[in-house]
Amino acid sequence: HHKKYAERIAEMLEESARARGIGIARRSAEYIAKKMQEGKAIIAFHKPSGQLAGFTYIETWTHDKYVANSGLIVQPEFRGSNLGKRLKHASFALSRKKYPDARIFSITTSHAVMKMNTELGFSPVPFSELTTDKEFWDGCQSCRNYDILMRNDRKMCLCTGLMFDPEEKKKAFQKKMMRNKLVAVLTSVITLRRQRLSNGKLTVKPAMKKL
């Protein structure tokens, strides 16, 4: 079954790139089947018909320090049904579960994918912050924009690089918690001072009306 679906998925990716006139790295059916066997792929089916509806996969780089979310594709007849977003969230959850300390990244020309990544906490980053693994960048050779990438010494292309850094998110969360604690302490001090003033001898008399 892996091979049958892998061949169709490879065709879907090729057809989508051609129809939208965008650059996309081609993936062979053998490569996609391997991702399925490794438990790094997510496939969506239409329940009533059993038709293949969508696909995405993850791949690790630089000794599992980076995880790429790639190959997101939805069949034309299932677009607009929120399936792309569900697949994106599923691949993100799979990445976090299997590689909790890894930086998760994506390079894309799709505004829809950029929006989904941003909602998940991804931030735009220069290519210099992505994996330096040669095999990853070699995978871009089948993209029609590869010459642009190479002319810029792999520092920029038409794709936008986005990254989710768990360490940065952890630091931001800790900073937020410290800020909340500080606010709570200041609020307690202010409340205590108000209580002391109300319990003290300080009184305020109303002004006398002039007759």
pTM assigned to the model: 0.76
> What are the domain boundaries of the chain?
2-164, 165-198
- Candidates 1.20.1740.10, 3.30.460.10, 1.10.10.10, 3.40.630.30; CATH matching 2-164: 3.40.630.30
160 close to 109: Cβ distance less than 8 angstroms: yes
- Written as one string, the DSSP assignment of the chain is -HHHHHHHHHHHHHHHHHHHT-------HHHHHHHHHTT-EEEEEETTTTEEEEEEEEEEETTTTEEEEEEEEE-GGGTTTTHHHHHHHHHHHHHHHH-TTSEEEEEES-HHHHHHHHHTT-EE--GGGS---HHHHHGGGGSTTHHHHHHTTTS--SSEEEEE-HHHHHHHHHHHHHHHHHHHHHHHHHHHHHHHHHHSS---PPPPPP-
If one compares 42 and 23, the residue with the highest pLDDT of the two is 42
CA-to-CA distance for 92 and 86, rounded, in angstroms? 10
If one compares 24 and 28, the residue with the highest pLDDT of the two is 28
| pLDDT tens-place string over residues 134-176 | 999 998 888 888 899 999 999 999 999 999 999 987 876 566 6
Q: Model confidence at 207, in pLDDT bands (50, 70, 90)?
A: very low
Query: 25-29, 84-88, 181-185, 187-191 — which one is most confidently predicted on average?
Result: 84-88
